Amino acid sequence: METKIILSEQDMPTQWYNIAADMPGELFPPLGPAGSPLEPAQLESVFPHGIIEQEVSRERWIPIPEEVRSVLFRWRPTPLRRAHALERHLGYGGMIFYKDESVSPAGSHKPNSAVPQAYYNMLEGVKRLTTETGAGQWGSALSFACAQFGLGCRVFMVGVSYDQKPARKTMMELWGGTCVRSPSQETAAGRRAIRDFPGTPGSLGIAISEAVEAAVTSRDVKTRYALGSVLNHVLLHQTIIGLEAKKQCDLAGVTPDVVIGCVGGGSNFAGLAFPFAADKIAGVPMEIIPVEPKACPTMTRGTYTYDYGDTAGLTPLLAMHTLGHRFIPPPIHAGGLRYHGVSPLISHGIDTGLFTPRAHDQVSAYEAAMLWARSEGTLPAPETSHAIAAVVDRVRQAQKEGKCPTILFNYSGHGLMDLAGYEKYLRGDLTPYAPSDHDLSRYMAGMENLPPLARNLP
């Protein structure tokens, strides 16, 4: 028996949900070069006005343009499925549901933000977007989105993932994108990273520096930068996931007790969790769990402070849980989770007790992925596998307690481009990386020169 809840096209949300309107406590503003709150005009060399307005907005609901919805209609609304086979395998008396974002053209949740970002840039006459990508899912999604609106796309892909996942580069090229291994010789930031970190596997921080530099120094065509996670507007676009899921849960007659998603920068977790977090803020009991890799323990071992979103320090300072902008994560296969920081909105949610983070090493994540593949039958992305590992842990905890909470998680992408990692797992060649305290403190060195978090910022 399969439970699959499908919405009609008419049920697809017409507005995004902006959790900034409802977050408890005071949100720390991003800071500009002088250490004062960032002015929206300071972002104009990087983002179009439509995106900047969304980034700073405190409006609860923001309309989704019809031109964006018409592209999203190709695969949305996505199914909500019940994992009956996993429940049986675990002997679980409760219910496990998952929002299946693997059905998009790029195979993940990423087009939910790539499409509106390409659209808003097209409106302002932008001809090319630059970006970074970890595992290649965001680079693939933005290449797809740019193709829909006639834009060029240049993607700086983290070196270790570029080598591990060559098919992602092919996907980008099929949609007209260009993929560059990062760090590269194309930018000053890339050349500096090669000099300062000899033999580096690369990082999202380095790739962001390269993409931002390439955008602001472009002289041949009007170029802007697009980001796949972390910032408010990206997480806003992803809330279409949770808004659909709430309707589907209502149709199924269930209310989730536990909501789970994996976290690198935070986009897929926020997309599912934020609309449910609104209910928790309003007083509905709920456990909301963001899950990260132990190799890059931003939420569980990082420091909540101001830091740059990129390695070279080209971005504004963001209030976030961070391992330090010079942190170089180990070369785990979940490339989309290898980021030194996490979204300011998610960081604030952790700080206020709204979210309870967890961490898993890549071996336990692959073990959960194999369990999923041999029960439910589909092959999850390594990033998604971290969420599945957290689901399995939560089930085992519930069984010890004699409880059966209803669990909902985001199946954020398929793993059909990640077979090399699965092959290493099957051979026993994967290592459960976790940085030492010494390593983490080393990367945080020098951070004392950045502004501290303070509730009385001007």
83-99 pLDDT, tens digit per residue, is: 999 999 999 999 999 99
Nearest to 7 by CA among 84, 86, 100: 100
Q: What is the dihedral of CA 366, 372, 378, 380, to 10 degrees?
A: -30
Query: Last residue of a domain, which of 193, 210, 229?
Result: 229
Residue 457, pLDDT > 50, answer no
| 303 shares its domain with 181 | no
User: Containing domain of residue 403, as a range?
Assistant: 76-107+233-448
Asked, as a colleague might, if the bond just before 452 is cis with ω within 30 of 0, I would say no
Average the pLDDT over 58-63 and give the result: 98
Would residue 292 count as lying in a domain?
yes
Q: Which residue has the tokens 């909540």?
A: 304
Mean pLDDT, the chain, as a whole number? 94
Would residue 299 count as lying in a domain?
yes
CATH assignment at residue 300? 3.40.50.1100
| 174 shares its domain with 254 | no
**pLDDT score recorded for residue 366:** 96
| 313 shares its domain with 283 | yes
| 316 shares its domain with 427 | yes
Distance between CA atoms of residues 412 and 428, nearest Å? 25
Residue 458, pLDDT > 80, answer no
| 114 shares its domain with 254 | no
**Which H or E run includes 358?**
strand 358-360
| 133 shares its domain with 95 | no
Average the pLDDT over 417-432 and give the result: 91
Residue 449, pLDDT > 90, answer no
Q: What is the pTM of this model?
A: 0.95
Total tally of structural domains belonging to the chain = 2
**pLDDT score recorded for residue 437:** 93
Would residue 178 count as lying in a domain?
yes
Average the pLDDT over 218-245 and give the result: 96
Query: Last residue of a domain, which of 229, 247, 264?
Result: 229
| 416 shares its domain with 323 | yes
| 346 shares its domain with 409 | yes
| 274 shares its domain with 311 | yes
| 103 shares its domain with 143 | no
Would residue 117 count as lying in a domain?
yes
Provide the percentage of residues in the chain whose pLDDT is more than 70: 99
**pLDDT score recorded for residue 1:** 59
3-class secondary structure, 318: strand
Please write the tens of the pLDDT for every residue from 165-210: 899 999 999 999 999 999 999 999 999 999 999 999 898 889 999 9
Nearest to 9 by CA among 101, 75, 80: 75
Please write the tens of the pLDDT for every residue from 329-346: 887 777 678 889 999 999
Helix-helix angle 137-148:111-123, to 10 degrees = 40
Distance between CA atoms of residues 356 and 376, nearest Å? 27
Would residue 294 count as lying in a domain?
yes
**pLDDT score recorded for residue 456:** 47
Average the pLDDT over 271-288 and give the result: 98
**pLDDT score recorded for residue 455:** 59
**Which H or E run includes 99?**
strand 96-100
Distance between CA atoms of residues 104 and 148, nearest Å? 14
Query: Last residue of a domain, which of 208, 229, 250?
Result: 229
**pLDDT score recorded for residue 310:** 87
Provide the percentage of residues in the chain whose pLDDT is more than 90: 84
Average the pLDDT over 16-25 and give the result: 96
| 177 shares its domain with 150 | yes
Residue 304, pLDDT > 50, answer yes
Would residue 37 count as lying in a domain?
no
Tell me the Cα Rg of the chain: 20
Would residue 14 count as lying in a domain?
no
Residue 34, pLDDT > 90, answer no
| 434 shares its domain with 326 | yes
CA 278 to chain centre: 19
Q: Is pLDDT larger for residue 337 or for residue 121? A: 121
Would residue 345 count as lying in a domain?
yes
Distance between CA atoms of residues 99 and 437, nearest Å? 36
101 neighbors 413 (Cβ within 8 angstroms): yes
Question: Where would I find the beta strands (DSSP E) of 231-346?
Answer: 258-262, 287-293, 303-308, 317-322
